[in-house]
Amino acid sequence: MGMEIAFWILAALGVGSALAVVLNRDIFRAALFLVFCFFTIAGIYITIGADFLAGVQVLIYVGAISILIIFAIMLTRQTQRGSPSNRLPLPALVIGLAFLGAMVFIVLTTNWHVVTPLPEAGPTTGAIALELFDPESGFVLPFEIASVLLLAAAIGAIVLAREK
Amino acid sequence: MNLYLLSPEISLTAFAILVILLDLVIKRKGILVYVSILGLITSAVFAATLWGGEATTFGGMLVVDGFSIFFKFLFIGVAIMVVLASVDYVSRIKRFQGEYLALILLSAVGMMLMASTGELVSIYISLELTGISLYVLTGFLKDPKSSEAGLKYLLLGAVASAVLLYGMAMVFGLTGTTHLGDIATAVSSGALGSPALLMGIVLLVAGFGFKIACVPFQMWVPDVYEGAPTPITAYLSVASKAAGFAVILRVFYTAFGPVSLDWGMIFAVLGAITMTLGNIVAIPQTNIKRMLGYSSIAQAGYLMMGLAAVSSLGQSGLLFFLVSYAFTNLGAFIAIIAISNKVDSDMIADYRGMARHAPLLSLALALCLISLTGIPPTAGFMAKVYIFNAAMQYGLLWLVVIAVINTVISAYYYLRVVKVMFLEAPASQERVPSSGALRFALCIACIGVLVIGVIPSYFLRIAEVVVRALGS
């Protein structure tokens, strides 16, 4: 019960801060709201017992990505004037609402694949590791491809960032 | 876990790293090109040893069958041609030559994996590996146009990835698995026709549609094709597109086979719009790279007919079309590289009278443009006949009619370039020099175009054998 109340509070805060990100004209404040939004999502992960995911969310999104975004804003000029206005607010609103409507309808009407009984609350790190690295049924292949992906990204970043 | 099944990808990754390391110590950078090509050939040899068998490893995530090896050969072949076509280009940039080649190899690894993974997470990550390498390669020149192209490609690609992940998440939420085979089981046992599955399929089509550049996800094509280094434009237009089609074939036939009626129609309608838009907007273009960009959108439309005809005939038609399109488009782009090296312009108007001072190059470009139009005796003609036939057999007469009308429209802008080259007076009498590597690659492309056009049966048989791995 307590978890459920916490979920609804966090969900409301998350949606509210996400709306603030898009509606705020000052890009720096929008970025700060985004950080808050990431935090509420980490909270939601905790309410469903995904402690590892919550930790990763805080480390990567709240920690690394937010810092990156804020740095990018600080290093880019012309932020004082705020974010440029959208030239197509009405079509964007219509399409956004249509997509939202479709998603809400789908989420409510679909018979989702639900795991029963609910897994016990507790540390999930070990279980995720076993699931990830099991040689027969784990996700070893995508894990290995991800390392090549990071290599390509690192090379690319160096090429693009270094002066000619 | 049988690591040997992964040997083509592992060896190519190793060679990519080797190229970067050699780049640090070697003074004569020309050697790097040979190392890259050696790496690609090594990878092809490993792939050849796997030919004929059907095996999976990593718990079904890596699927090595005729289909995936066919695409491995295709990507390796295209990458070799692109590396050869880059020789002149690489020698012009002072720094990062090793990185340029390494990124081509790494994106090839990504594409090879895209064609041979049977699981959504792996598909997504290999798609990103391909994408990130290509974003960087697009912006490699670092001049305003190239940077803009790279940035546009990155931003729109990121949106497409987000949409794709959304779709994958919905499919996973519905079925509880990311393995394509298990998804098929779950789909046929109850989730059939649920709105979430439809939405998931639509989002997946959107995400993959970006890769193959079909309407309405084609906005990036003209700017990116114009701004990117020309060898990379060729790479994007052929290999990246083929990888997208490989993934679509694998995902939709393996996972969504039971709901075939829904998505076949999506592809039919999108294909019809794609080819019409591509062809009509190509007509007023004055820049040849932009024109070929729109032309590649139109070609994606024809290719999608193979997806719309949900049958083994459609699949093999699509594969055959991809091979002939690869030779044709690579040939066209290589000829353009050779010509623009000299005239330093991509404007069609500057090709005036090219036939006088570069007769062979003009002839090769004309051959490729004729093949893109679909006139015998070229590969493009056979490919169109075969894929139109597949759509006809499937009962999509309206789609074939639209495609034939489109072919006629496309003749106008393809043949206009031929006319400018052959019938108008030249602006200058200078010879157009080209490097041996470029001439060799162009030669292979033109021979391919003619051989497939004259004796298509051998290639058709391979395509037919290969698609048996997918079932239908």
Strands B62-64 and B55-57: antiparallel
Long-range contacts of B188-193, Cβ-Cβ distance < 8 Å, separation of 24 or more: B188/B258, B190/A111, B191/A111, B192/B258, B192/B259, B193/B259
Q: Which of B1, B103, B194 sits opposite A152 (nearest CB)?
A: B103
**Domain boundaries, position B286:** 259-472
- Summarize the confidence of residues B249-268 as an average pLDDT: 82
| Confidence (pLDDT) at B435 | 78
Please determine, for residue B184, whether its predicted confidence score (pLDDT) is greater than 60: yes
Residue of B nearest to A136 (CA): B59
Give per-residue pLDDT as tens, B74-111: 999 999 999 999 887 777 776 788 899 999 999 999 99
Establish whether the linkage from the previous residue to B216 is cis, with ω within 30° of 0.
Answer: yes
| Confidence (pLDDT) at B109 | 96
Q: Which of A138, A146, A162 sits opposite B59 (nearest CB)?
A: A138
Q: CA of B417, closest CA in chain A: separation in Å?
A: 35
CA dist list (Å): B206 to A74, A108, B192, B353: 34, 23, 20, 43
Tell me whether residue B240 is in a domain: no
Q: Which of A102, A148, A160 sits opposite B13 (nearest CB)?
A: A148
Tell me whether residue B438 is in a domain: yes
Q: Rounded to an integer, what distance in angstroms lies between the CA atom of residue B184 and that of residue B188?
A: 6
The pLDDT-based confidence of B186 (bands split at 50, 70, 90) is confident
Residue of A nearest to B93 (CA): A164
Contact in structure between B327 and B449 (CB atoms under 8 Å):
yes
Query: DSSP of B431-450, one letter per residue?
Result: -----HHHHHHHHHHHHHHH
The pLDDT-based confidence of B429 (bands split at 50, 70, 90) is low
Local structure of B56: helix, strand or coil: strand
Of residues B465 and B427, more confidently modeled: B465
Of residues B194 and B386, more confidently modeled: B386
CA B32 to centroid of chain Cα atoms: 24
Q: CA of B238, closest CA in chain A: separation in Å?
A: 21
Residue of B nearest to A111 (CA): B174
* Least confident span in B13-17, B209-213, B277-281, B465-469: B465-469
Q: Rounded to an integer, what distance in angstroms lies between the CA atom of residue A48 and that of residue A119?
A: 10
Q: Rounded to an integer, what distance in angstroms lies between the CA atom of residue B357 and that of residue B376?
A: 27
Residue B174 burial (CB < 10 Å; 0-12/13-18/19+)?
buried
Q: Which of A106, A145, A164 sits opposite B196 (nearest CB)?
A: A106
The verdict on a CB contact (< 8 Å) between B62 and A141 is: yes
| Confidence (pLDDT) at A80 | 56
- Summarize the confidence of residues B411-440 as an average pLDDT: 82
| Confidence (pLDDT) at B239 | 94
Residue B37 region by backbone torsions, left for phi larger than 0, else alpha for psi between -120 and 50, else beta: alpha
Window A:76-95, CB contacts with B under 8 Å: none
B96 interaction partners in chain A (CB closer than 8 Å): 159
Q: CA of B58, closest CA in chain A: separation in Å?
A: 6
Size of interface A-B (CB pairs under 8 A): 105
User: So what's the ipTM on this one?
Assistant: 0.90
Tell me whether residue B125 is in a domain: no
B126 interaction partners in chain A (CB closer than 8 Å): 145
The verdict on a CB contact (< 8 Å) between A155 and B136 is: yes
B13 interaction partners in chain A (CB closer than 8 Å): 148
Q: Rounded to an integer, what distance in angstroms lies between the CA atom of residue B158 and that of residue B24?
A: 32
| Confidence (pLDDT) at B371 | 94
The verdict on a CB contact (< 8 Å) between A156 and B58 is: no
Residue A25 burial (CB < 10 Å; 0-12/13-18/19+)?
exposed
| Confidence (pLDDT) at A74 | 84
Q: Rounded to an integer, what distance in angstroms lies between the CA atom of residue A39 and that of residue A16?
A: 13
| Confidence (pLDDT) at B292 | 92
Q: What proportions of chain A, in percent to the nearest 5, are helix, strand and coil?
A: 75, 0, 25
Tell me whether residue B411 is in a domain: yes
Please determine, for residue B22, whether its predicted confidence score (pLDDT) is greater than 80: yes
User: What percent of chain B stands above pLDDT 70?
Assistant: 96
Local structure of B63: helix, strand or coil: strand
pTM of the model: 0.93
Q: Which of A110, A159, A162 sits opposite B195 (nearest CB)?
A: A110
Contact in structure between B456 and B389 (CB atoms under 8 Å):
no
A164 interaction partners in chain B (CB closer than 8 Å): 95, 142
Tell me whether residue B35 is in a domain: no
- Total domains present in chain B: 1
| Confidence (pLDDT) at B358 | 82
The pLDDT-based confidence of B412 (bands split at 50, 70, 90) is very high
Q: Rounded to an integer, what distance in angstroms lies between the CA atom of residue B420 and that of residue B335?
A: 15
Residue B139's nearest CA partner among B3, B236, B241 is B236
Tell me whether residue B164 is in a domain: no
Q: Rounded to an integer, what distance in angstroms lies between the CA atom of residue A29 and that of residue A145?
A: 36
What's the token pair of residue B453?
A: 């056009």
* Residues 6+ away with beta carbon under 8 Å from B391: B305, B306, B308, B309, B314, B399, B400, B403
| Confidence (pLDDT) at A110 | 80
> Half-sphere exposure of residue B432, counting CA atoms within 13 Å on the CB side?
26
Which residues of chain A, if any, have pLDDT below 70? 77-86, 116-121, 164
| Confidence (pLDDT) at A77 | 63
Tell me whether residue B173 is in a domain: no
Q: Which domains are assigned to chain A?
A: 2-83+117-131 (1.20.120.1200)
Window A:100-129, CB contacts with B under 8 Å: 102-103, 105-107, 109-113, 115
The pLDDT-based confidence of B269 (bands split at 50, 70, 90) is very high
| Confidence (pLDDT) at B261 | 60
Amino acid at the residue A74? M
| Confidence (pLDDT) at B26 | 86
Q: CA of A107, closest CA in chain B: separation in Å?
A: 7
What's the token pair of residue B348?
A: 């069609």
Strand partners, B56: B63
Give per-residue pLDDT as tens, B111-153: 999 999 989 999 999 999 999 999 999 998 888 899 999 999 9
The pLDDT-based confidence of B42 (bands split at 50, 70, 90) is very high
- Summarize the confidence of residues B301-330 as an average pLDDT: 92
Tell me whether residue B19 is in a domain: no
Residue of B nearest to A152 (CA): B133
